[in-house]
Amino acid sequence: MIEVNLLPEPKFLPELHPTFRPAILVNRAFEKAVRDTGEAVDVGIALEQADSSVFHYHTVLFAAGHELATNNFRHLERMVKFLLWQRGGWKIHLSGADSYVDELQNYYRTNEFGKFDDDVIGLKNNGHAIEVISCVELPPENSQARPIGRHLDGCRIGFDLGGSDRKAAAVVDGEVKFSEEIVWDPYFEPNPDYHYEGIMDSLKRAAEHLPKVDAIGGSAAGCYSHNKVTWASLFRGVSPEDFDAKVRDMFLKISEEWNAPLEVINDGEVTALAGSMALGKNGVLGIAMGTSEGGGYIDMEGNITTWLSELAFAPVDLHPAAPPDEWSGDLGCGAQYFSQQAVGRLLPASGIEYDKELKLPEQLKIVQKLMEEGDERALKIYDAIGIYLGYTLAHYADFYDFEYVLLLGRVTTGPGGEHIIERSKEVMASEFPELAARIKFHIPDETEKRHGQAVAAASLPKIG
């Protein structure tokens, strides 16, 4: 049981979500309480990926025997949970926390939330079950970063595969000649031919507007390694057997059929790349608020890292009764705060009357229309998301070095999106003034929202 003083109430509290307890404030309260004892136990966390990349993070725990030490495991597990989805890895090295190694290892074998992390982050993304080991000293950091995209020469197709629509654009020397958005519903579709045929249809439609196809670049929800699908929500309805047979190498097959170089990466990474290209700046954190939350990061040198940035599953609210994720079931994760799922979750509390059978995109349209009309009930929904964002950007800043935030996705469209940004700025200015002074929002216009992602995606492959 977490004591109340370790769950501080934020200064800005969403009217529609009064139990919101931002991770940034809870973590700071925990670490301050630990240090105030004068007996803080320093803990090192290293996550090792399948390619031998190693990332460090440090925190503190209460000394054994302290009356608040019962909170140690939750703090450690939530911290590691965030790191697993933000950075990725299968082997967790712990220094200074020997007494929690077996408990954390057991968590990934027996707890439903832990087993989900083990299956997706461990087995599917790294090819290993999650392993927790103790160490005296953490293994040396070993991080890789590489330049990506920004190739604008030639005739290219850029595509973006989301949970509610797929987009494709024809791009010639960096200029969009055609773009199209087609509604689809891939999440629970068991037949992978549905996905393949949909992607090919969009590519063919774009190709009709090009004299030739020199390269194809794409963004899609999920995790991709060397153009292979390791795990993706787009294919969650596909059986493991069909995934291995038809999905894992789908984009390699498409590249062969088009006889053109093809690169596909996570949609959040392309969001960040699009922002970096539009701004001519680096250190960009991209957040796409669409069917789910997409995250992406371009580092201060303009490179892409090996970090996952699957922020949809990374916890941002540490209240024990935080809303559950609709897929993993875990509590307080990003998708419930920065996506159409957030709008759908807040909608009943807003007092807006609507058909409960409507799908999330249609629910969002109702809220957007009311917001355009100045409806106070719709404003409360966007106000909550703006408050979430202000606190969560401060939380993300503990894990990313960034100066620019790019927001994309249907939830950010129109006056609602404007309010989200202004409210988050207000939160940061009051609660995190140093961060507020450093961070700049990039607010793309509608043309850039529509075409920026397509151009960035199309720029991924190098010709020749």
Q: pLDDT digit string (tens) for 244-259?
A: 999 999 999 999 999 9
Mean pLDDT throughout 380-385?
98
Q: Report the SS3 class of residue 342.
A: helix
Q: Which of 88, 134, 128, 106 is nearest to 309 (CA)?
A: 88
- pLDDT of 268 > 70? The answer is yes
- pLDDT of 162 > 90? The answer is no
Q: Was domain 270-455 assigned CATH 3.30.70.100? A: no
* Cβ contact 454:277 at 8 Å: no
- Cβ–Cβ contacts within 10 Å for residue 18, how many? 9
Mean pLDDT throughout 42-56?
95
Amino acid 4: pLDDT = 45
Average model confidence (pLDDT) for the chain? 94
Q: Which residue has the tokens 């960035």?
A: 456
Q: pLDDT digit string (tens) for 175-184?
A: 999 999 999 9
Mean pLDDT throughout 194-215?
98
The 3-class SS string of 78-108 reads HHHHHHHHHCCCCEEEEECCHHHHHHHHHHH
CA distance 25 to 431: 10
Q: pLDDT digit string (tens) for 322-355?
A: 999 999 999 999 999 999 999 999 999 999 999 9
Paired residues of 317 in beta bridges: 22
- pLDDT of 266 > 80? The answer is yes
**Reported confidence tier of residue 1, pLDDT bands at 50, 70, 90:** very low
Amino acid 178: pLDDT = 95
Phi, psi of 212 (to 5 degrees): -160, 170
Q: Report the SS3 class of residue 364.
A: helix
Residue 380, CA distances (Å) to 16, 372, 419 in order = 7, 13, 10
Residue 120, CA distances (Å) to 163, 229, 327, 462 in order = 19, 12, 12, 30
Kindly report, as residue ranges, where domains of CATH 3.30.420.40 are found in the chain: 147-267, 270-455
Q: pLDDT digit string (tens) for 390-433?
A: 999 999 999 999 999 998 888 998 999 999 999 999 999 999 99
**Superfamily, domain 147-267:** ATPase, nucleotide binding domain (3.30.420.40)
Amino acid 464: pLDDT = 80
